[in-house]
């Protein structure tokens, strides 16, 4: 039995986040999208199973990708 790889996409531009999610969903990844750094940290803290990959925009509102 194979488990889906989990990917967290942190992107504040909705059209880009949706496009990335669409393409990764098509490849059978489990994708979560958030629009800012604080939300990304919240997802990482509450996730019981680890995130396998994070796609992180560096120019985010409020908290930069570097700070995340």
Ranges of the chain with pLDDT below 50: 1
pLDDT of 1? 46
- List strand residue ranges (DSSP E) for the chain, in order: 6-10, 30-34, 53-56
**Which of 18, 55, 60, 58 has its CA nearest to residue 35?**
60
pLDDT of 48? 75
Q: For residues 60 and 68, is the Cβ–Cβ distance under 8 A?
A: yes
Domain 6-56, CATH 3.30.420 — does that match? no
pLDDT of 37? 95
Claim: this prediction has a pTM higher than 0.85: yes
């Amino acid at each position: 039995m194979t488990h889906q790889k989990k990917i967290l996409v942190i992107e504040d531009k909705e059209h880009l986040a949706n496009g990335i999610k669409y393409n990764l969903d098509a490849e059978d990844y489990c994708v979560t999208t958030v629009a800012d750094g604080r939300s990304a940290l919240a997802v990482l803290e509450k996730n019981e199973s680890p995130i396998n990959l994070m796609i992180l925009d560096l120019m985010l509102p409020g908290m930069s990708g570097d700070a995340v």
